[in-house]
Amino acid sequence: MRPILFPDHPQFWFETLRSLGHTAYGLADIGEVVVTSQAITAGDYDSWHDEWLATADRVAAEADRAAAAGHRISARDGYLRASNYYRSAEFFLHGRAGDPRILHAYERSVECFRAAAGLSTPAIEPVEIPYEGTLLPGYFYRAGETGERRPTVVMCNGFDGTVEEMYVYAVAAVERGYHVLAFDGPGQPGTRHKQGLVFRPDWETVVGPVIDYALTRDEVDPDRIALLGASMGGVLMPRAAAFEPRAAALIAVDGLFDLGDIVTSGIPGDRDAAEARLRAPHDPEFDAEIERLMAASGTMRWAMEQGMYAFRVATPRQFCAAYLDYHLHDGVAERIGCPTLVCAGEDDLFFQGQPELLFDHLTCDKTLLPFTTAEGAGAHCQAGGQRLAYARIYDWLATALA
């Protein structure tokens, strides 16, 4: 897909397409996204923040007025869009972890989403999931008001997305009769902003307590629990499924096999030599080279700054070294026993070839689901083609859980 906006800045265009795609489920409106984007200076993180914050503030204020006048649906819709725009506002600021604008926009995003959640029918329930002496934030979505026991999708986002953004996946599932339990795990925004938790590769230690919590709810059918991971969740949830026998199905959107491939692919020499350089305690020449690459690529700059923030490390190289531990090698992929769907975007900006690697290593009942540029769904996680993508994903799940 050719960029409609930000033609010379792929990362800004992808984040814009991400919001445009969310219009399919009410987290954005096309005109608001376009006029906001047109006011942004490409590559300028402060400009991105300021324009998205202004749009979010305006939409939230209108939602407040609708709520005060008793217009529940209008208020709900406005709060949903404002939540997503606040999420976008702080997206590129994580290179300065102490920037007060980050927490302000994040908290406003959550406030607006929870306002919308209370106005939804059925209401979306904020939940807190016990985990290692603390609590993971999440939401429980009911498919109907009766509390009927139904199959349930347990889902999480990835490297940079919020649990509130998973609304688009959740409502698509609810429309089809599934309950949904969405959560933020360690390293994801809810726990990173509030508790300082960082990512961990053994995601089964996260998903286990989430499923424990799900099984305390009468609405959840214990024999029909599916796991869904988006973006980096495409390696986290498969890792969990490999060690979690209660998973009846697995969906990786998009599938990932080895994040180490991403951070070593451009380093001269073989994989062992590349890993040794990344893990070395001191390599100023290599550090300087990474800095030069970041200066030349908006996508690399963002990825490194986001990684340092989410993993709470001091240098880009330390983040890359941490990424090496996120993989399904050593027979882990082969341990997955439940039916598994691996999605793949033809024009994925970040993880080209990874879904196919995961698929090739699986020994379970497996399906590879490609999405093409020609059908408008070839971007990472099918940004811009979500109605099409979720139809295919949840139709597959209906068969898998039948």
Smallest CA-to-CA distance from 67 within 106, 119, 105 is with 119
Catalytic, out of 83, 109, 120, 231:
231
Q: What sign does the CA torsion over 242, 245, 246, 250 have? A: positive
288: left (phi over 0), alpha (psi -120 to 50) or beta: alpha
- Which residues 6+ apart lie within 8 Å of 149 measured at CB? 218, 219, 220, 221
| Residues 154/225, Cβ–Cβ less than 8 Å | yes
| Residues 45/92, Cβ–Cβ less than 8 Å | yes
- Which residues 6+ apart lie within 8 Å of 203 measured at CB? 185, 236, 237, 239, 240
DSSP string computed for 113-132: HHHHHHHSSSPPEEEEEEET
For residues 74 and 66, give the distance between their C-alpha atoms in angstroms, rounded to a whole number: 6
For residues 332 and 123, give the distance between their C-alpha atoms in angstroms, rounded to a whole number: 38
What is the Cβ-side half-sphere exposure of residue 19, based on CA atoms within 13 angstroms?
A: 30
* Known active-site residue 231: yes
* CA 294 remoteness from chain centre: 23
SS3 249: strand
Identity of residue 226: A
Q: What ranges make up the beta strands (E) of 164-248?
A: 179-183, 220-230
Catalytic residues: 231
